[in-house]
Structure 1
């Protein structure tokens, strides 16, 4: 009997524990709580309905977040659209300070006069540029240190134009005062050319005039083509009032048979051809050239070439870059159509350069010309916390150029002389926007009218920066 009572108490206790387990969970006995909440019949635990409500709340929060992000993007797009409907404005400029020293023999002084050593601001240019309405851009530049062949100072217009992009067939159209599409040396900005001054060939190369031109670039940027019509005006504040001519048609095409995409142009081969037909508003034309410097005497001079009706220019060009080494060359022929006998003149140059620090000349595939050199390491000099001096070396470039200009044509009885110039250059790029340059030019000259041969030496230095 006692055993039966004991068993009954044991079974009653177990049954009571089973009955009271849910209520024990409600009182905080977490260890007895079933894993699956669907087993719960009371207390504060979530049910399937509660879970569904939480999922709906989460979905609503995600939707609200997506809507907020969409509103932010819409506001940003609206702000960009409003900004595009106005022309942006940025300021640019450049300053070149030159020192030029001449070396002359007695024969040189007799032929060219006493060339005076000169210090000058070669360029002091200020401008603005910008874009707007998605397809337009503009540029306005004025040089306050402009000079002509006689060294008279004048404020000169440089790039002053409006550009329209993404036009069907034509691509880009540019209207205003800017460089004609001709010659890789001329189209490479003076900020980026290898030497302080351009070669003797540049005496023929068209520069800036007022006109309209179209520019096309192939989809793979291997081909460029440009053509335009201009009125011969020059860099002085553009104004001409003359019904006797002065109209020009110029065009240029370039091709990249090889361009190393993997290294962004550390290896390339450029081919180009320029052509220009130039009507003249004055039948008396004169061609003069200095010894690849902006000051000093003219070493070649045709005097007045009479009876000129028009002339044409043809200019094949080539450039090769292989790492730090580059070669560039052009050959130009000028055909002068005269009332009497026609006259032909010739010019050429070849130049090479090598970066001691390993950089390379940067090529602009859309313009078919060279662009800004970027040193691997900018120049700096600082003292470290331990007292040592750390320096950055910048980029160092050595260069040589041979150029030749022949202004003699015996059949036309024109004897303007001819010259062969040798130029050695050293360039130190302190950073992409600052460089120091040194050039030595040795000109071997057969002066005008078959006078005695002579020579001229030019030592010149430049400090240059732009922004």
Structure 2
């Protein structure tokens, strides 16, 4: 009877082992052997663990040998690894199991190394629909003509990006709203000694908090400054630390290039050196940035390869006409400087920037212009504008405490989710008049209401009042009523 019990036990053990081998799992050997790791992170064991494992395996072999000795009536088996009465080779199965485990570990390590060399791809996008209605007085009609009401697909972006290597990323973004415009097209090398990151391609120059805040995270529908640099081809060293209280970026670019598509061909020098540094004197770690003070400074020296430049601006609406315009200025180079600051306390945000330009003109010598804005916002529903410490800007997603919804329950009640609601005010001033160039002076007031239905969907309502003086007329009043539906994914 004991012989048959032992034989049945051996059969059950072997069947359990072979089932585990088929399922890439390990049977429960109780005290004989520890379980085989189920994730690559568990594959590395210490020397003490390996010794204990081998000791348990040896004990299992000895126990199996004793059982075979008893089954033979006390006669030692000639070969403990040989089958007895048709029973499977248990000891040999333990050895093969250990060999299988080693082969699996090597295969997984090889697969992980291969995956680390294969570029990853992440697909995203965004689209903005804008509609605007305009009202003007006669002075504004004389200045800019009739501003007609308009509906427009403002942006329609396709976004590709990912990793090339573990410390190297790439980005390919393009806009197809009207014609194909290349936006970000670059490779970024990270984790470098001293400089942290190095970027090559077509991307935003490191200037202005407003410019470096992505358009899907802006509090207003458009940026305010006529001196923003946009995207150009170049190289840039920059920081990339989500825990630091400072950022930096400095690069060499092709000046005044544009994005349709990025291309430059000339024997003349068209270059720019642009840099920006930011610092957080105070950042409340406990609340993850619901309280902070941001400061920053930027500078750009720009040599003009085509021998001219132009500054102009709209009244905070992409559908409105230009209301201030210097016209084409013959010049060899110009200097651009910027100061920026922001204060966040809970749901309240206050930010401001000042830009100053000095142009070395061919006809009049040095001519200067400036711009500034002051902007405040407040979340009625308690959220806050999340700050991005990697870029020194507010380029992070607002996540409502409660998404918008309106449903009828089984009790026939209507349940609502409000989403997040934000009110915004901005005052902006452009002065494009100098001693010999008269591009106009403009003062603008913007009041807005932003409704975040979800972290990826937003509706914006804005009213802009603009008052402009230029050589044509004074006190040109333009009223803008505009709405945007914004979705990104």
Q: Could you say which TM-score interval applies, normalised by the shorter chain?
A: 0.7 to 0.9
Q: In 2, Cα distance between the equivalents of 1:431 and 1:75?
A: 43
User: What's the Cα RMSD here?
Assistant: 1.9
Does 2:430 align with 1:409?
A: no
Q: Which residue of 1 aligns with 2:453?
A: 430
Does 2:87 align with 1:65?
A: no
* Inter-CA distance 89–345: structure 2 relative to 1 (3 Å threshold): same
Measured after TM superposition, the shift of residue 112 of structure 1 is 1.4
CA contact under 8 A between 1:290 and 1:296: conserved in structure 2?
yes
Measured after TM superposition, the shift of residue 453 of structure 1 is 2.6
Q: In 2, Cα distance between the equivalents of 1:207 and 1:301?
A: 18
CA contact under 8 A between 2:143 and 2:472: conserved in structure 1?
no
Q: In 2, Cα distance between the equivalents of 1:140 and 1:160?
A: 5
Measured after TM superposition, the shift of residue 304 of structure 1 is 2.3
Q: Which residue of 2 aligns with 1:455?
A: 477
Measured after TM superposition, the shift of residue 263 of structure 1 is 0.7
Q: In 1, Cα distance between the equivalents of 2:113 and 2:346?
A: 42
Q: In 1, Cα distance between the equivalents of 2:401 and 2:300?
A: 39
* Inter-CA distance 100–337: structure 2 relative to 1 (3 Å threshold): same
Measured after TM superposition, the shift of residue 240 of structure 1 is 1.2
Q: In 1, Cα distance between the equivalents of 2:252 and 2:220?
A: 30
Q: In 2, Cα distance between the equivalents of 1:140 and 1:73?
A: 36
Q: How does 1:295-306 map to 2 (within 5 A)?
A: 295-306=319-330
TM-score, normalised via structure 1 length: 0.82
CA contact under 8 A between 2:242 and 2:389: conserved in structure 1?
no
Which of residues 208, 222, 231 in structure 2 aligns to 1:208?
Answer: 231
Measured after TM superposition, the shift of residue 319 of structure 1 is 0.6
Q: Secondary structure at the match of 1:261?
A: coil
CA contact under 8 A between 2:128 and 2:154: conserved in structure 1?
yes
Q: How does 1:237-386 map to 2 (within 5 A)?
A: 237-306=261-330, 308-339=331-362, 340-370=364-394, 371-386=396-411
Measured after TM superposition, the shift of residue 59 of structure 1 is 5.0
* Inter-CA distance 75–290: structure 2 relative to 1 (3 Å threshold): same
Q: Which residue of 2 aligns with 1:128?
A: 160
Measured after TM superposition, the shift of residue 128 of structure 1 is 0.8
Q: How many residues align?
A: 398
Measured after TM superposition, the shift of residue 349 of structure 1 is 0.3
Which of residues 166, 169, 177 in structure 1 aligns to 2:194?
Answer: 169
Q: Which residue of 2 aligns with 1:17?
A: none
Q: Extract unaligned runs of 5+ from structure 2.
A: 6-28, 44-100
Q: Secondary structure at the match of 2:317?
A: coil
Measured after TM superposition, the shift of residue 73 of structure 1 is 6.6
CA contact under 8 A between 2:308 and 2:332: conserved in structure 1?
no
Measured after TM superposition, the shift of residue 82 of structure 1 is 2.1
CA contact under 8 A between 1:417 and 1:450: conserved in structure 2?
no
Q: Extract unaligned runs of 5+ from structure 1.
A: 1-43, 45-56, 146-152
Q: Secondary structure at the match of 2:142?
A: helix
Which of residues 141, 145, 156 in structure 2 aligns to 1:109?
Answer: 141
Measured after TM superposition, the shift of residue 84 of structure 1 is 1.5
Q: In 2, Cα distance between the equivalents of 1:177 and 1:67?
A: 44
If you compute each CA radius of gyration, which structure gives the higher value, 1 or 2? Answer: 1
Q: In 2, Cα distance between the equivalents of 1:302 and 1:61?
A: 82
